[in-house]
A and B are shown apart, each in its own frame.
Chain A
Amino acid sequence: MKLNGAQILLESLLQEGVEKVFGYPGGAVLDIYHALRDYPLQHFLFRHEQGVVHAADGFARASGKVGVALVTSGPGATNAVTGIATAFMDSIPLVVLTGQVPTQLIGNDAFQEVDIVGISRSCTKHNYLVKDVKELAKTIKEAFYLARSGRPGPVLVDLPKDVIQSKAEFYYPKQVSMRSYNPNYTANKRQIQKSVGMIKKSRRPLIFAGGGVIASNAHEELCALARKLQVPVTSSMMGLGAFPGNDPLHLGMLGMHGTYVANMAVNYTDLLIAVGVRFDDRVTGKLETFAPDAKIIHVDIDPTSIRKNVSVDVPIVSDCRQALAALNEGFEQTGSEEDFPGRFASWRDKLRAWNEAHPLTYDSKGKSIKPQMVIETLYEITQGEAIISTEVGQNQMWAAQHFKYNKPRTWLTSGGLGTMGYGFPAALGAQVAFPDSLVIDIAGDGSIQMNIQELTTAVSHQLPVKIIILNNSCLGMVRQWQELFYEKNYSCTCLERIPDFVKLAEAFGAEGYRITEQQEIEPVLRQALASKKTAVVEVVVDQGENVYPMVPSGAGLNEMLLV
């Protein structure tokens, strides 16, 4: 039987196991929306296409599945770009379906035409313009395959209206074969042996875990390796949750706002075992002084990540999970006559001493609410049993520092792009994936206003996400830089006019709470978290509080500013 393009598309989504789609309709995708009623796909209508894509992204990060976004041509597609770029920078698997004007109009500046394939070329893993309905099923198959295999990422498929309307026989290919795309998953044996040898010889080894550990579901393999050898672990911001935050071996995050002990560990380690990371500038600080005493083993599935920013001694192009499993096996084979835990004990003692000398801390003596208190209380109440998303700025850094992420896929944040407005729609996506979990967006008063319209979405789809706004009445992170590096010239960062967030929440049909005194923090948070409804909790916090430690831009990791 022949189906039209819209039906072929939706059949293909079913074949891929898709159950939930995030979207926003428009002229170019009307046929798809029309066909939707005949398919067992749950559609979540957002209020802005940026929200649509962030939600698909949050869904993907929390669940490990490919997130699917559906938007119309022209402005629908351009609105989606920030979401796509966010997912691209953090290697999140998405399939983004955009409507397009009919093929015969392409290039004519038709109504709501943009060259979205051209626009999104540099922020997608790959993209397609489908010109013939006969190519549609195969293209969707490839799009999903590309999105989730190798180094994951967003794939965009542009769908001209006439293609969606014309008919073809539906045949969904069983397999994909692309001669030009064959990611390498298995680690080179010699490199693994070499790594085992180096770890054995080292005195001060350090594991540095990144988002690749989470993407490859290598959490258990990582824990096994670190615990067996009793090697300390630090994480990039993207890697939080890859290793339990409450494990004594975990040093916390490294980099610009990393912990003192993590940055010192990098500075003194003699062997850095970097897994699923890309040595972003926010992590390394000044490259010349990064890990000055260390040999570096670098595992990553993407060859371009290796030797891009730092030179390494043992490059391993591989899936992180497979490489870690091979390392574990390597140590198993060599027998247990070696006492690794004992061997690295003095190194761990040194780290413990550093941490005791300079733990994460802040001045909590005054009456005002410090944002860190709020995060700590959130952790105490939830015991880490929550999915946390964040906006961008100080709120994000405090959430990274003061909450412990004990499981992978419970920490959703825009790392590479640093997209304000990410957290709330991403939280909604995560809630869609896990309707029974507690999902919390830790927000700033600035960022939350970037996608606040999705409160409507939350209420209408009964997604009981909790938004905790750390209201410091300013664009805090930018203000912090102005204080430290721009002569305290607070140009355009102190927000004079801030909406009444409680009333705003209520206007959208959500619950609103406000906390202004320290003693209200715990009871009000408990009340809000226990609610079955979408809730906004505004916490009025100290405007002048800064995020520390801080490695100034361009400085070495050992040049931290402390509290």
Chain B
Amino acid sequence: MRHTLSVLVENEPGVLSRVAGLFSGRGFNIESLNVAPTMEKGVSLMTIVTGGDELIIEQIQKQLRKLITVVKVVDMNEVKHVDREMVLIKVNATEHTRAEVLRIVDIFRCKVVDVSPSELTLEATGDQGKIKALSNLLHRFGIKELARTGTVALRRSMQMKD
């Protein structure tokens, strides 16, 4: 199953390679990884999307906690959370198709961030499902390039029981 892990790390040189090396060295997979500084000085947040059965996810978390530079690990699947990803998509948009592409932009509440006579570059934000639906819809126009940030996630303020 896919899990989203929030990993707080000391922001020091080499911390990324410690985490990445752990995953590659132990044969765990990384679907996406996002790193950036937090509001706290010296601490960065990594959001890692990974997969595996229950035992593997448990091992991944334990191994991460064992790294000296890792401060905290939270499995977002265990809590109510929001997750988002941003994607930039460069899609073909000719005279004939432009209107339809723009309609999709509207429906998905994307933004057009760059224009040329034959292409549009769109910016979209959403969870994995939305991004996937969008790229599926745009597929037939011809997606020229695509860049994704990988998932970022936060705990919801209200942790209500199901």
A contact residues vs B (CB 8 Å cutoff): 117-118, 121-122, 125-126, 129, 146, 178-181, 302-304, 307-308
Q: Cβ of B21: which chain A residues have Cβ within 8 Å of it?
A: 121-122
**B94 part of interface (Cβ distance < 8 Å):** no
B59-A308 in contact (CB<8A) = yes
CB pair B65–A121 under 8 Å, yes or no, is no
**In the complex, B18 has a CB within 8 A of chain A:** yes
Which A residues are in CB contact (< 8 Å) with B69?
180
The 7 A-B residue pairs with the shortest CB-CB distance in the complex, in nearest-first order: A126-B68, A304-B62, A180-B71, A303-B62, A122-B25, A181-B68, A304-B63
Contact of A118 among B17, B63, B68 (CB under 8 A): B17
Instruction: Tell me if B96 counts as interface (CB < 8 A to partner A).
Output: no
Q: Is the interface of B mostly helix, strand, loop or mixed?
A: helix
Cβ B66 vs Cβ A302 within 8 A = yes
* Bound: A307/B55 CA distance, A: 8
Q: Can you sample 9 A-B contacts with CB below 8 Å?
A: A118-B17, A121-B14, A125-B68, A126-B68, A129-B14, A303-B62, A303-B65, A304-B62, A307-B55
Task: Tell which of A118, A178, A307 touches B58, judged by Cβ atoms closer than 8 Å.
Answer: A307
In the bound assembly, the distance between CA atoms of A118 and B10 in angstroms comes to: 17
B70 contacts A by Cβ under 8 Å: yes
CA distance A264 to B110 in the complex (A): 67
Q: Contact check, A179 vs B68: say whether CB atoms are below 8 A apart.
A: no
B residues lining the A interface (CB < 8 Å) = 10, 13-14, 17-18, 21, 25, 55, 58-59, 62-63, 65-66, 68-71
Q: Is the CB of A304 within 8 A of B66?
A: yes
Bound: A307/B56 CA distance, A: 10
Residue numbers in A under 8 Å from B18 (CB-CB): 121
Determine the distance from Cα of A221 to Cα of B16 in the docked complex, in whole angstroms: 41
Collect the chain B residues with CB atoms within 8 Å of residue A178's CB: 68
The answer for the CA separation of A118 and B13 in the assembled complex, in Å, is: 11
* Distance between A181 CB and nearest chain B CB, rounded to angstroms: 5
Using a Cβ cutoff of 8 Å, how many contacts connect chains A and B? 34
Residues of A within 8 A of B17 (CB): 118, 121
Whether the pair A117, B10 counts as a contact (CB closer than 8 A) is no
Closest Cβ neighbor of A131 among chain B residues: B13
Known contacts A180-B70, A180-B71; 13 further A-B pairs (Cβ under 8 A): A121-B14, A121-B17, A121-B18, A122-B21, A125-B68, A126-B68, A129-B13, A179-B71, A180-B68, A180-B69, A302-B66, A303-B65, A308-B59
Q: Which residues of B contact A180 (CB under 8 A)?
A: 10, 68-71
A180 to B43 Cα, complex, angstroms:
11
A117 to B71, CA, bound (A): 21
- Chain B residues whose C-beta falls within 8 Å of the C-beta of A118 in the assembled complex: 14, 17
With a cutoff of 8 Å between Cβ atoms, the chain B residues found around residue A308 in the complex are 59
| Assembled-state Cα–Cα distance A126/B59 (Å) | 19
Give Cα A303–Cα B59 distance, bound, in whole angstroms.
9
| Docked complex Cα distance between A126 and B70 (Å) | 12
Contact B62 A146 (CB under 8 A): no
**Are A117 and B14 CB-contacts (below 8 A) given A125-B68, A126-B68, A181-B68?**
yes
B17 to chain A, nearest CB (A): 7
User: How many Å from the CB of B95 to the closest CB on chain A?
Assistant: 51
Among A118, A125, A178, A303, residue most surrounded by chain B Cβ atoms (within 10 Å): A303
**What's the least CB distance linking A278 to chain B, in Å?**
13
Identity of the chain A residue whose Cβ is nearest the Cβ of B25 in the assembled complex = A122
How far, in angstroms, from A304 to B22 measured CA to CA in the complex?
13
Chain B residues with CB under 8 Å of A117's CB are: 14
Q: How far is the CB of A410 from chain B (nearest CB, A)?
A: 30
Q: How far is the CB of A300 from chain B (nearest CB, A)?
A: 11
| B71 touching A304, Cβ below 8 Å | no
The distance in angstroms between the C-alpha atoms of A117 and B12, with both chains bound, is 13
By beta carbon, the residue of chain A nearest B10 is A180
A150's nearest neighbour on chain B, judged by CB, is: B66
- Nearest Cβ distance between residue B28 and chain A, in whole angstroms? 12
Per the bound structure, the CA–CA distance linking A545 and B69 in Å amounts to: 49
With contact pairs A121-B21, A303-B62 given, residues A146 and B14 touching in the complex (Cβ less than 8 Å): no
Most buried by B among A125, A178, A303, A304: A304
Bound Cα distance A447, B66 (Å): 34
Q: Which residues of A contact B66 (CB under 8 A)?
A: 302-304
Q: How far is the CA of A307 from the CA of B14 in the complex (A)?
A: 29
Given the complex, which residues of B lie within 8 Å of A122, measured CB to CB? 21, 25
Tell me how far the C-beta of A376 lies from the nearest C-beta in chain B, rounded to whole angstroms. Answer: 42
Question: For residue A303, which residues in chain B have a CB less than 8 angstroms away from its CB?
Answer: 62, 65-66
Report the minimal beta-carbon distance from B97 to chain A, rounded to whole angstroms. 48
Complex CA gap A236/B17 in Å reads 33
Alpha-carbon gap, A125 to B68, bound state (A): 8
Closest to A181 in B: B68
A129 to B68, CA, bound (A): 14
Q: How far is B21's CA from A118's CA once the two chains are assembled, in angstroms?
A: 10
Please measure, in the bound complex, the distance between the C-alpha atom of A126 and the C-alpha atom of B58, giving whole angstroms: 22
* A93 CB → nearest B CB, Å: 15
**Which A residues are CB-close (under 8 A) to B70?**
180
How close is A114's CB to chain B, nearest CB, in angstroms? 15
Q: Provide the bound-state CA to CA distance between A266 and B5, in Å.
A: 38
Most central of B14, B21, B71 by chain A CB within 10 Å: B14
Most buried by A among B55, B62, B70: B62
When distances are taken between beta carbons in the complex, the residues of chain A under 8 Å from B71 are 179-180
Collect the chain A residues with CB atoms within 8 Å of residue B58's CB: 307
Complex: A146 Cα to B69 Cα, angstroms: 12
The residue from A146, A302, A304 contacting B68, defined by CB atoms under 8 A apart: A146
List B contacts of A125 (CB < 8 A). Answer: 68
